[in-house]
Amino acid sequence: MELGGVRDPIGSYYKELVKSLANMSPKDKKRLSEAARAEITYVDLVGGDRHAVLGSEAKDLASNIPRDLADHIRVPMIIAKVSGTSFYRLLDCNEKTSRMLLELRSRGVISSDYADRCILTQADTISLIKKYKTLFIISIIYGGDEGSHYEEDI
């Protein structure tokens, strides 16, 4: 990438970073209930690689939420850093995923006051990744303004 005839190494780096993050996105996802029944499940990624989802982690998460949610939650889920804040957001936010996060909050797995809107603190994100490392994929760029008006509680 050149800028006025001069090579722009930072622009080139970010272009490659965004490209590599896009390649890590799942082409398709598996139902949590399905992943919980297998020892290991593979999900194809956009870039051609495969992501392994461990059945033991899926089973543990499924045991922490109402049974009906396990058929609707799809893994792996993508958590993205909200730019300009210390917050993260579960990208596939819908009524089912926000219910899942509220259940996890009631069980002490996360503590976010904004779980109903799929907004997570850094501590929540670390907790989820430690407990369910194959069920979540971290993305470092999210340009939305969600999280920008929430109070920092860290």
pLDDT 10s digits, 83-135: 888 899 999 899 999 999 999 999 999 999 999 999 999 999 999 999 999 99
Q: Is 27 helix (H, G, I), strand (E, B) or coil?
A: coil
CA-CA distance, 137 to 51, in Å (whole number)? 9
Of 14-23, 24-33, 73-82, 91-100, the range with the lowest mean pLDDT is 14-23
Question: DSSP character for 45?
Answer: B
CA-CA distance, 59 to 50, in Å (whole number)? 20
- CB atoms closer than 10 angstroms to residue 98: 17
Res 153: pLDDT: 47
Q: Is the pLDDT of residue 26 over 90?
A: no
Closest CA to 99 of 66, 59, 146: 66
Q: Which amino acid is at 44?
A: D
Would the pTM count as exceeding 0.85? no
pLDDT tens digits for 27-74? 889 999 999 999 999 999 888 889 999 999 999 999 999 999 999 999
User: Which has the higher per-residue pLDDT, 30 or 17?
Assistant: 30
Cα dihedral sign, 150-113-139-92 = negative
Q: Is the pLDDT of residue 142 over 80?
A: no
